[in-house]
Structure 1
Amino acid sequence: MTVRLQRARPGSPELQALVDELAERLGRSVAVDDPLVRMVCTSRHFGDEDPVRIGTLLQGRADNAAIRYVLDQGVTQWPRPGFIDGRHDLGLLPRYVVPLRERGHLLGLLVVVVPEKTLADEETRAIAGAAEAMAALMYGEWIAADTRKSDERDLALALVGADVAARTTARRRGEERGLLGAAEHVLVTVVQLSCGTELVHRSEAALWAALEGYRQTRSAQGLIAIGKERAVLLQLRDRPPHPDEVAAQTARILDELRTFLDPSADPVIGVGGRHTTLDDAWTSYEQALVAARAARRLPSLKGAGDWELLGELGVLLQLPEHALNASLLPKPLRTLTESHGGDRLRDTLRCFLDHAGSIPRTAETLGIHRTSLYYRLRQIQEITGLDLDDGAHRLTLHLGLRVGELLAPSTAGAV
């Protein structure tokens, strides 16, 4: 089941009045959504409500499938108003959508339910006039919100930065402004995007929307820093977070981002270590960067890396990017891979080492007889020239296999 995060900020009374006035004039349901199709304010019904509209009123936003459908129509990039087709399977009637822009900034979407997909000229003029007034009003609110977000970003980045003096100053400022509570358990989460085809404002809006629900919760007080392709969530908690709680939070953030952004954004999340003082927030941040790197390199993590679950990979991933290549693979391991039946032998070796050299558990996992396993292990020793009873030799091969997991697909095949 999809867990709903904090809804978009409710519109001002002035914006609500403009929406109600337009709806009464048209005799149609009208709403203003934010750029991520989350409801800001809406009018009463006029007998044209559909399941998506009703669900939005109950939940505070449409479900993910409806949001994704609307965004896939490219409405946030439309230069002028237009219709989007209805979708019976989604419970969505056709809508007339007007991008609300002011000085180049997309502030939201004016949405009018139009089941017949046609508007009279006077209706179109009324909508255009209302849209102009709404955009002007929303621009002032956007300026104020952007200033607050910028101040919060600077504070969060200083708290996770390497400069001790800057961290001390930031902590004092945060406490004076009431942004930092007394809780001392610290957790830093980093979100990274590959934004090749995404508009910057869309990416920033999506990052904020996915994280804002975690700024203030029953167990955490947080700060958010949003950049073009990266976001940082710094959380102070009154108790150490349970692993299941962290995993659920991470999954929800990814779910939101995958709803709001195209697949090309390919979001990944890195969760830092859990620390017991705000002074160690910078350490959790650095660990979160490593975990995000793991999430990018290891498909098995499905976009989410956690420092406390990385083990030795956390050490290997601190190697410089240029150094993390096939040259790190031990020669005996390369020889094994290039041999006849190398893939099978490599998988056998990995299983054997992962099970700490246990013959019974390795044979059971591989589903083979112990005699067959002994035969394969003898082959591995003959090909590599290494002794699997020697701890140093085992470590060489095991680290080599781990490095191979981290290599890009183009080089990992050579492992």
Structure 2
Amino acid sequence: MSLVDRLPELDDAVQDLSEAVGRRLVVIDQSMRVVAYSIHEAPEDRRRLFHMLTHSDAWARPRTTKNPHQIEVVPEVGALMFLRLVDAQRQIVGHLVVSLAESEVDCEPGPAIEEAAPYLAELLQARQHDDAGRSARSHQLTVDLVTGSPRERGAAAEALIAERFLSTADSYCAVALGVDPRGAMPLDHEKTAQAVSRTLRFVRETSTATVVGGILDSQVGVLIFPRPVVVPRLIRILEHPQVAPVRAGVGPLLTLDDVHHSFERAHLAWRASWLAPDDHEIVTTWDGAGLDATLARMPLENFTLADLPPSTRELLTAVDSPGLLATLEMYLSAGGDAQQTARALSIHRSTLYYRLDKLRSAVTGDLGDGALRRDLHTGLRMARLAGLLPEP
């Protein structure tokens, strides 16, 4: 019986072929992601495999449309042979990657590998079909978990754990991510799905935890972590050019039954991050967003002057100087401390008093009054988030 006549699972087939030909083998799909590999025992083999696991999706696609195989020397890995795997319609579904020695840059695949290629392609397609089905179910359960009715949320939580999509934990953290929806094009929204996919892949390849994700009808992505989110890592993922300018909000840790509340707050933190991008990182936590996350409950992007508090409307009608308005914002943030305000703005105190006199003449009331300060401080923040303040 031929090596692959029994049509084993992809991992077994790759290992059997590796032992038959005496070479380390890897299978990558059309996205250049590693999906199966043989045992790599030697330290150098393991080093090269780890590099492929973490970097293969950034490699240029093999030029195997016309030629069935191509040999490339990949930095940090060495010489590799890419043998195309095709379906019944001769469409490329992935590649078998064979590690070569430096002296083998002109070698051929060999009859055993060429014979195995069609079966590996069939197994890869079956794996992809199964993965696609599980992925679709995982995505739908994730969406139900954060947006469904109480009954749907409960059923989704139970299924995610029972079907081993999500790790069991005492508490979970939700993430909302996407692009600024104002003026976003369909291509921009596609980056949200890419960001969800890249994050899931990163966690799968670097952690023992299982994380789930999906995309809402509103084109907002959702991720559920069975542990606190490591913000710097998520920032690095979202800084990749392929997913910029996707931003994310991170909710608090809650039980799985209450994780929809974590997502609600993550969504508000995400809104705050694109309403005031200069004031927030591309990954913003609920606590870190502060008042902005609370204000983000309002449809600020649709606000006009008429939606602001009376004192703020009066001020913005009379003053259109970005410098004066920034001075007042700083003064109010400093609690009316003139010395601290002047220091923060790097201006002389007499200059500050001159500006404050002009501002006092623009509003009815005393800037020393706590209620007026509160209205102006909050009103100006609302105006800034709504994009109603003049640009410098």
What's the TM-score, normalizing by structure 1? 0.69
Aligned to 1:363: 342
Deviation at 1:232, TM superposition (A): 2.6
Local SS of the residue matching 2:253: coil
1:33 and 2:11 correspond? no
Aligned to 2:256: 278
Deviation at 1:345, TM superposition (A): 1.7
Instruction: Give, in whole Å, the separation in 1 of the partners of 2:160 and 2:72.
Output: 48
1:147 and 2:133 correspond? yes
Deviation at 1:269, TM superposition (A): 1.6
Larger Rg computed on CA atoms: 2
1:232 and 2:218 correspond? no
Partner amino acid, structure 1, of 2:136: S
Across the two proteins, how many residue pairs are aligned to each other? 368
Instruction: Give, in whole Å, the separation in 2 of the partners of 1:77 and 1:324.
Output: 52
Residue among 233, 241, 256 paired with 2:237: 256
Residues 171 and 95 of structure 1: is their aligned pair in 2 closer, same or farther, counting only changes over 3 Å?
Answer: closer
Instruction: Give, in whole Å, the separation in 2 of the partners of 1:208 and 1:343.
Output: 43
Deviation at 1:394, TM superposition (A): 2.1
1:196 and 2:187 correspond? yes
Deviation at 1:364, TM superposition (A): 2.3
Aligned to 1:3: none
Instruction: Give, in whole Å, the separation in 1 of the partners of 2:106 and 2:191.
Output: 31
Residues 188 and 213 of structure 1: is their aligned pair in 2 closer, same or farther, counting only changes over 3 Å?
Answer: farther
1:208 and 2:200 correspond? yes
1:406 and 2:385 correspond? yes
Instruction: Give, in whole Å, the separation in 1 of the partners of 2:242 and 2:277.
Output: 15
Deviation at 1:209, TM superposition (A): 0.6
Instruction: Tell whether the 8 Å contact from 2:73 to 2:80 is kept in structure 1 after alignment.
Output: yes
What's the TM-score, normalizing by structure 2? 0.72
Deviation at 1:224, TM superposition (A): 0.8
Instruction: Give, in whole Å, the separation in 1 of the partners of 2:351 and 2:201.
Output: 55
Q: Which runs of 5+ in 1 are unaligned?
A: 1-9
Deviation at 1:280, TM superposition (A): 2.0
Partner amino acid, structure 1, of 2:249: G
Instruction: Give, in whole Å, the separation in 2 of the partners of 1:379 and 1:185.
Output: 53
1:167 and 2:153 correspond? yes
Higher mean displacement: 342-351 or 166-175: 166-175
Deviation at 1:407, TM superposition (A): 4.0
Spell out, residue by residue over 1:60-111, the C-alpha distance to the aligned partner (whole angstroms, 9 max, x if none).
7345xx753x1xx3x2998666869757xx5465755456565899864434
Aligned to 2:356: 377
Residues 62 and 380 of structure 1: is their aligned pair in 2 closer, same or farther, counting only changes over 3 Å?
Answer: same
Instruction: Tell whether the 8 Å contact from 1:156 to 1:223 is kept in structure 2 after alignment.
Output: no
1:334 and 2:329 correspond? no
Instruction: Tell whether the 8 Å contact from 2:196 to 2:223 is kept in structure 1 after alignment.
Output: no
Residues 398 and 169 of structure 1: is their aligned pair in 2 closer, same or farther, counting only changes over 3 Å?
Answer: same
Higher mean displacement: 352-361 or 177-186: 177-186
Local SS of the residue matching 1:189: strand
Instruction: Give, in whole Å, the separation in 2 of the partners of 1:397 and 1:258.
Output: 35
Residues 328 and 200 of structure 1: is their aligned pair in 2 closer, same or farther, counting only changes over 3 Å?
Answer: closer
Aligned to 2:288: 309
Instruction: Tell whether the 8 Å contact from 2:196 to 2:213 is kept in structure 1 after alignment.
Output: no
Partner amino acid, structure 1, of 2:200: W
Instruction: Give, in whole Å, the separation in 2 of the partners of 1:117 and 1:384.
Output: 81
Q: CA RMSD in A?
A: 4.5
Instruction: Tell whether the 8 Å contact from 2:238 to 2:247 is kept in structure 1 after alignment.
Output: no
Aligned to 1:319: 298
1:289 and 2:279 correspond? no
Residues 263 and 382 of structure 1: is their aligned pair in 2 closer, same or farther, counting only changes over 3 Å?
Answer: farther
Spell out, residue by residue over 1:166-208, the C-alpha distance to the aligned partner (whole angstroms, 9 max, x if none).
2233345456567778754332122336871769986664242
Deviation at 1:136, TM superposition (A): 1.3
Q: Tell me the percent identity.
A: 23
Instruction: Give, in whole Å, the separation in 2 of the partners of 1:103 and 1:268.
Output: 41
Partner amino acid, structure 2, of 1:281: V
Deviation at 1:126, TM superposition (A): 8.0
